[in-house]
Amino acid sequence: MAPLPISSIRVGQIDDVQELIKFKPNKVPERFIREEYERGVVVSSLKTQHLHHQIPVIDLSKLSKPHNDDFFFEILKLSQACEDWGFFQVINHGIEVEVVEDVEKVAKEFFDMPLEEKKKYPMEPGTVQGYGQAFIFSEDQKLDWCNMFALGVHPPQIRNPKLWPSKPARFSESLEGYSKEIRELCKRLLKYIAISLGLKEERFEEMFGEAVQAVRMNYYPPCSSPDLVLGLSPHSDGSALTVLQQSKNSCVGLQILKDNTWVPVKPLPNALVINIGDTIEVLSNGKYKSVEHRAVTNREKERLTIVTFYAPNYEVKIEPMSELVDDETNPCKYRSYNHGDYSYHYVSNKLQGKKSLDFAKILN
């Protein structure tokens, strides 16, 4: 979420979807309607039930005691999850339910405020912090059926203090406490991922420097024609890790692209959904892959998610780790680049699957 200067980008009229359903509940404006090819093939409901159980679940309590059978089995599961899916759920992660529920509460309260109050924290064209829609760069670009509120969290210099809201009253306090817990979780996960790659456990933390952390709250209201729209366009994440928390009682909305088919992901109770970002794909020289994913909407139910992006410091040089490159058996697949440059590239383009990662690929 590197900041971009506000430019002369013309984005046209961007309707607020909460206002649309309030005043025109049965109308979907043309700018939200997707072509049929964009909607893709979704796995059948019968097969979905089976695949729900295939999406790996990692029990972090089994990784708290290293070097026993449970530990090595869970590390193997983690490795397979990162290699085959790029997504997994974590249970027994140690974050108190009260912390999670509290941040959900203030997020929902923010989205429930009058539009004029939320517009005090605008996401200006060409930026990725504030309230509105990100990644819009033209007047005819299709829009997602979603309202976003995004903030830089850590380190302090990436924050825009003017965008941190004064209402709800406990918003900042709640988000600070939650973000601290998620930051520690990401550090733990990166240690386990390093071990699964055969690296020393501190490898990522040593190279990341003062890691960058950002949060984006996504609110997807019901849509009268959910088959015509997308909640969030297909993309992979530019981060190292992404942590998704879906609020209780939300409908299923996350879908991941598996074998050219969109597979719905149903979060387990009190679990967090983790996905590998482009940065880990590059650092692992393609062994662990970031996966294209998207969000869809529901005719009757709303959905609220809180998404944390965790990445190296913008000054860090990113390239495949030497331990994972072999000129003969596993040659280098990605070039060396500055993470800040990639972040700028990522937020300067609309979401288009994994197209952003072309920035780093070595073309044969």
Beta strands 293-295 and 232-235, pairing class: antiparallel
- pLDDT tens, N- to C-terminus, the chain (364 residues): 444 444 577 877 888 999 999 988 889 999 999 988 877 767 654 455 555 447 899 999 999 888 789 999 999 999 999 999 999 999 999 999 999 999 999 999 999 999 999 999 998 887 889 999 887 788 888 999 999 999 999 999 999 999 999 999 999 999 999 999 999 999 999 999 999 999 999 999 999 999 999 999 999 999 999 999 999 999 999 999 999 999 888 888 999 999 889 999 988 989 999 999 999 999 999 999 999 999 999 999 999 999 999 999 999 999 999 999 998 898 999 999 999 998 888 887 777 778 788 888 887 6
The pLDDT assigned to 136 comes to 79
The pLDDT value recorded for residue 19 is: 94
Exposed, middle or buried, 348 (CB in 10 Å: 0-12/13-18/19+)?
A: middle
How much is the pLDDT for 44? Answer: 53
| The pLDDT value given to residue 12 | 74
pLDDT at 360: 85
Query: Using H for helix, E for strand and C for coil, what is the string for 197-262?
Result: CCCCCCHHHHHHCCCEEEEEEEEECCCCCHHHCCCEEEECCCCCEEEEEECCCCCCCEEEEECCEE
| Percent of residues in the chain assigned helix, strand, coil, to nearest 5 | 35, 20, 45
The per-residue pLDDT for 3 is: 45
DSSP states of 52-68? HHHS-EEEGGGGSSTTS
